[in-house]
Amino acid sequence: MTMGTRRRSIYGPETWAKHAGRDWSHWDLWFCLVSLTDADGDWETLTDAIIERHRRYSVTGRQWESKISHLDDLRVRLDTAGLRAVDLAGEVIGDRQLLAKARRKVLDQELAGRDLTPAMRDTPRERLQRRAYRGHWGTFPVSPADACERFAAVIGSGRGSFRVAIDLEEAARGEDARLAGDPARRLALWRGLLTAGFEAFWNGLRDSDGAVATVLGDALDAYARLSWREAGIDPAGYWTDLCELCIWEDWGIRHRRESAPFRHVPRTHAPLIEELLRALEAEHRAARLDYQADEAIQMVAWLAVATHSYTRFVPVAERLGADWWIPVVALAEAAMKSGRTQLARDVFGAAIAPGGLHTEHLARRCRELTGAEPPRRRRLRAVQ
């Protein structure tokens, strides 16, 4: 390097080399090096190490998701090219300076804009959140896109949240009255409002008095009451869209109305919806989105409550365990309301059996509701 020149900075996304007819970035090299030297070539071990390190030491929250997203994408590209990590990085594995840099980049460094590869930007969280909010609109007879844009403009007006809430409610009610007799457009109207509101919260909307969240809760209730059959939407598409939307709601909008999305579910549709929710749980769990996965399995309980699917109460409670006491108690209360005291006890016993955070609380609630102790730790036979 001649005097007066500076070495070009390398952030990671730049092409490092070409192998098997493909371009490989510096991030690809760094991940392969650390995998070989620190994880014995085991990608899962490296994945766990990155997550643990960033959860413990990072001050920027979920940056590990971006790194794991790139790692997962790298694994797919290596498999597609018929390559292994050693094929990419084997020739430079003895370069101690490069290895130190790779460890720093992969395990420790916080990410900034220039560091990000496409896979780091487009994480599973980003993809699945987009799909939940807008990804199923192609199944709607009328797209909610126009309504969403109009409501987003109201939210972005710069007014305080209380005034925004009033404007949203007035606009929605007025437009809904105008669309009376047009079920497809009414469905699109309320669905568009929900995404406009959820995206505003996702992007940092301040709602200190909870007024906007209340309007969105009312909107979700109104949306669930609409006749989707008259709107002409496919049942599977409708329920998939609604379930995904709900598991990506993180602002208390369904508080005290958890079963509202399923209030008008035909009992014959309950198995389809439960299957959809369990598939969503598995998909989000695999993407390490545990909050959304947990929401999906809790919604199975609210579905059972709303549809009075009593034969599902015990297996659902057993699946929840004692970690999620609110839907467990809701199942038991629904059983008691129908005069099924033994079912309520069995619900508590099923939830307590696998263990969890709130076993003592559930045992106490069982005594309060049924006047008896929950069944002792025995595995109840699930009714399918």
Between these two residues, 215 and 209, which has the higher pLDDT value? Answer: 215
The predicted model scores a pTM of: 0.89
Residues contacting residue 285 through CB under 8 Å, at least 6 positions apart: 293
Of 80, 104, 121, which marks where a domain is finished? Answer: 121
**Residues 80 and 111 reside in one and the same domain:** yes
Q: Is the pLDDT of residue 382 over 70?
A: no
**Residues 33 and 105 reside in one and the same domain:** yes
**Residues 223 and 154 reside in one and the same domain:** yes
Kindly state the average pLDDT of the residues 262-289: 94
Of 218, 240, 263, which marks where a domain is finished? Answer: 263
Compute φ and ψ for 73, nearest 5 degrees: -65, -40
Domain containing 40: what range? 15-121
**Residues 115 and 47 reside in one and the same domain:** yes
**Residues 153 and 47 reside in one and the same domain:** no
Residue 77 lies in a domain: yes
Residue 163 lies in a domain: yes
Residue 181 lies in a domain: yes
Show the tokens assigned to 137.
């609109």
**Residues 93 and 193 reside in one and the same domain:** no
CB 255 within 8 A of CB 210: no
**Residues 48 and 109 reside in one and the same domain:** yes
Phi-psi label, residue 122: left if phi above 0, alpha if psi -120 to 50, beta otherwise: beta
Residue 186 lies in a domain: yes
**Residues 168 and 53 reside in one and the same domain:** no
**Residues 90 and 213 reside in one and the same domain:** no
Give the chain's mean pLDDT.
Answer: 93
Q: Is the pLDDT of residue 377 over 80?
A: no
CB 312 within 8 A of CB 347: no
Q: Is the pLDDT of residue 83 over 70?
A: yes
Residue 237 lies in a domain: yes
**Residues 99 and 134 reside in one and the same domain:** no
Q: Is the pLDDT of residue 384 over 90?
A: no
pLDDT at 74 (0 to 100): 98
Q: What is the 3-state secondary structure (H, E, C) of 218-265?
A: HHHHHHHHCCHHHHCCCHHHHHHHHHHHHHCCCCCCCCCCCCHHHCCC
Of 234, 263, 292, which marks where a domain is finished? Answer: 263
Q: Report the number of secondary-structure helices (H) and strands (E) in the chain.
A: 19, 2
Distance CA 193, CA 199 (A): 10
Kindly state the average pLDDT of the residues 198-226: 95
Residue 270 lies in a domain: no
Distance CA 345, CA 314 (A): 10
Distance CA 293, CA 316 (A): 15
Residue 269 lies in a domain: no
Number of domains the chain contains: 2
Q: For residue 254, which of 302, 291, 207, 190 has the smallest C-alpha distance?
A: 302
Q: What is the DSSP code string of 90-154?
A: GGGTT-HHHHHHHHIIIIIPPP-GGG--HHHHS-HHHHHHHHHHHTTGGGSSS-THHHHHHHHHH
Residue 305 lies in a domain: no
User: Which residues, listed in sequence order, are joined to residue 15 by a DSSP beta bridge?
Assistant: 25
Show the tokens assigned to 113.
């804009």
**Residues 107 and 192 reside in one and the same domain:** no
Number of Cβ atoms within 10 Å of the Cβ of 246:
26
